[in-house]
Amino acid sequence: MTDGEVLRLAGYAIRIEDHYGQPMDIEWAKDGLDSGLYIVQARPETVASQRTALELESFVPEAKGTVLASGRAVDGRMATGTVRVVTDAHHLSAFRPGDVLVADTKTPDWEPVMKTAAAIVTNRGGRTCHAAIVARELGIPAVAGAERATEALRDGQTVTVSCAEDETGKVYDGAVPFRVERLDLFLVRLGIDSISLTPDSVLKTLRAVVELERKLGRAPREPGTGGVS
C-alpha cells in the first residue's frame, strides 16, 4: 500500500460515514490485476463506537491451565464456555448461547450463531479474516489460525479462551479464573485509582465534577446551595 492509496481509502471511509451519518464497518479489497481499490461491504459499526472513550477495560487471568490450542489473539478479552465443534452448517442447530464456536473456518451465513457465542476458535485465518472481523464487532475473544483446533478440542468440553496475555491467543482446558479491570480515565486525570475508591477520593471526584459543571455554567457557585464544599 502506498501513502496515496491509504489516503484514498481514508477518503472513501469518510464519504461513506458522512453518507450514512454513523460509524461504519467497511471492508475493502485491492485488485491484483488492475491495482484498483474497491469497497466490498459497508455496514453499521455496533461495538467500538458504543464504548466510552473514558474507560479502559482489561482482562487479567488469575491462574494458568493446560493449553489445548493456540493461534492469533483477537480482541484482548477472555471467556469460558462449552466447546461446540462445527464442521458444516448442519451442526449449527446444536449450538447453544454461550458455547465456544470451534471450526476450520467460517462463512458469513454463520453470523446468527456467532452473535450468541462466548468465543470463536478457527483452524485457519488471521487477524483480518472474517471470523476475526466479526469477533471484534461483537466484542468477543477469538483465536484465529489455531491449527488442528477442531481435533484438539472436543464437543461438550469446558474451555477458557484467552486473548488477553499477548499476541498469541490460547485455549485452556477447563474454567480458568479471570477478572475484569476497568480504568476510568477521568479519575486517572484526577489522580484517583478507580479500582479502589475511598470516601476521600469520592469526595474529590464530586468536587471535580461540580467544578466542571461550574465552568459550564450549570452548577451553583456558592457553598451551601447544593454544591459540594
Segments making up each domain of the chain, as ranges? 3-45, 55-180
Neighbour count for residue 100 (Cβ, 10 Å)? 27
Q: How far is CA 201 from CA 145, 196, 214, 221, in A?
A: 46, 9, 20, 22
For the CA atoms of 13, 14, 20, 22, the dihedral, rounded to the nearest 10 degrees, stands at: 100
Residue 199's pLDDT is: 55
Instruction: Work out the mean pLDDT of the chain and round it to a whole number.
Output: 81
Comparing 67-71, 125-129, 156-160, 167-171, the range with the smallest average pLDDT is 125-129
pLDDT at 47: 64
Q: 55-180: what fold?
A: Glucose Oxidase; domain 1 (3.50.30)
Dihedral over alpha carbons 84, 89, 92, 93 (to 10 degrees): -140
Q: What are the C-alpha distances in Å from 228 to residues 55, 105, 207, 212, 222?
A: 25, 57, 6, 12, 9
With beta carbons less than 8 A apart as the criterion, state whether 83 and 175 touch.
Answer: no
Instruction: State the average pLDDT over residues 69-79.
Output: 92
pTM score: 0.64
| Spatial contact of 53 and 40, defined as CB atoms under 8 Å apart | no
Per-residue model confidence (pLDDT) at position 70: 96
Bigger pLDDT: 87 vs 193:
87
What pLDDT, on the 0 to 100 scale, is given for residue 192?
53
Q: In terms of pLDDT, which residue wins out, 107 or 80?
A: 80
pLDDT of res. 227: 45
Residue 45 pLDDT: 75
Q: Hey, what long-range contacts does 199-204 have (CB within 8 A, 24 or more apart)? A: 203/228
Q: Tell me the pLDDT band of 229, cut-offs 50, 70 and 90.
A: very low
pLDDT value, residue 15? 93
Which residue did the predictor score with more confidence, 154 or 43? 154
| Phi, psi angles (nearest 5°) of residue 162 | -120, 120
- 165, 163, 133: which is closest to 114 by C-alpha? 133
pLDDT digits (tens, 9 = 90+) for 198-225: 555 556 666 666 666 666 555 444 444 4
Higher pLDDT, 107 or 115: 115
Catalytic residues: 130
Residue 189, Cβ density class (10 Å: 0-12 exposed, 13-18 middle, ≥19 buried):
exposed
Question: Does the pLDDT at position 189 exceed 70?
Answer: no
The answer to whether residue 33 scores a pLDDT higher than 50 is yes
